[in-house]
């Protein structure tokens, strides 16, 4: 029973934020006639307003909502790009918040970009080490070599998840340091919608972290595999 309880707790802690974020997005995804424009239109308007006419607004076909600093593009999912909902408005403002961070060369965002690239390389290195583990053990026939490769692989994957987690302040700033003040001061949302928009913005900030936590499941599967090996 203790093992089952631990597994359930682990799944709740890892997948809970992801499930909660999806629930919030769906809850406020209804089209509201009082909203004057779609998420895509709001993103374009805000970018122009803040002097970023060179930043594109694109419909993301195969990826989620995000700001791409390398290609200078705010990308919104199909629903958020085309919809007049609180979710669409809040998410669009959140991604524009990242564009504003980039325009101002804010240190936290610059650090995040470097850390994310490091995390991507680290994850690839860790996955490669885990795939080569059976080969290394077969060639060397030394348990120590296998342990070293396993430690490298697991350490790389765990550190990549940690890197994603430490970028949370950047996400919170995009939501509550940029998006919410802009939406309120510009009267883009009604006063009665502020609580709902705040919830969506919190979910948007946690989405990145939720995905990182979900990657722990992959780490757990590798650990379980090694224990059986």
pLDDT digits (tens, 9 = 90+) for 16-55: 778 889 999 999 999 999 999 999 999 999 999 999 999 9
pLDDT category at 140 given cuts 50, 70, 90 is low
Q: Which of 58-62, 109-113, 120-124, 152-156 has the highest mean pLDDT?
A: 58-62
What are the tokens at 75?
A: 């990308």
Residue 219 vs residue 120, higher pLDDT: 120
d(C-alpha 8, C-alpha 5), whole Å: 5
What one-character DSSP code corresponds to residue 33?
T
Q: Is pLDDT at 145 greater than 60 in this prediction?
A: no
State the pLDDT at residue 115.
Answer: 74
- Average pLDDT of the chain, as a whole number: 82
Q: Is pLDDT at 198 greater than 80 in this prediction?
A: yes
Q: Exactly one of 41, 95, 171, 190 is catalytic; which is it?
A: 95
Mean pLDDT score, 99-119:
85
Is 41 an active-site residue? no
State the pLDDT at residue 168.
Answer: 82
b/e sequence 85-108, b meaning 16+ C-beta within 10 Å: bbbbbbbbbbbbbbbbbbbeebee
């Amino acid at each position: 029973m203790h093992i089952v309880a631990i597994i359930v707790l682990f799944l709740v802690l890892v997948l809970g934020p992801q499930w909660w974020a999806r629930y919030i997005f769906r809850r406020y995804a209804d089209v509201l006639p009082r909203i004057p424009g779609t998420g895509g239109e709001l993103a374009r308007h805000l970018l122009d307003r803040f002097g970023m006419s060179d930043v594109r607004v694109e419909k993301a076909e195969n990826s989620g909502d995000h700001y791409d600093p390398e290609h200078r593009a705010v990308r919104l999912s199909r629903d958020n790009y085309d919809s007049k909902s609180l979710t669409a408005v809040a998410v669009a403002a959140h991604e524009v918040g990242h564009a504003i961070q980039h325009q101002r060369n804010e240190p936290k965002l610059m650090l995040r970009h470097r850390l994310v690239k490091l995390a991507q390389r680290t994850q690839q290195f860790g996955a490669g080490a885990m795939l080569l583990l059976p080969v290394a053990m077969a060639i060397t026939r030394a348990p120590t070599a296998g342990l070293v490769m396993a430690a490298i692989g697991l350490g790389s994957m765990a550190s990549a998840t940690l890197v994603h987690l430490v970028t949370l302040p950047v996400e919170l700033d995009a939501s509550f340091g940029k998006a919410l003040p802009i939406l309120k001061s510009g009267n883009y949302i009604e006063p009665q919608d502020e609580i709902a928009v705040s919830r969506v913005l919190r979910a948007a900030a946690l989405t990145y972290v939720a995905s990182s936590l979900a990657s722990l499941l992959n780490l757990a599967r590798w650990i379980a595999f090694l224990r059986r090996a």
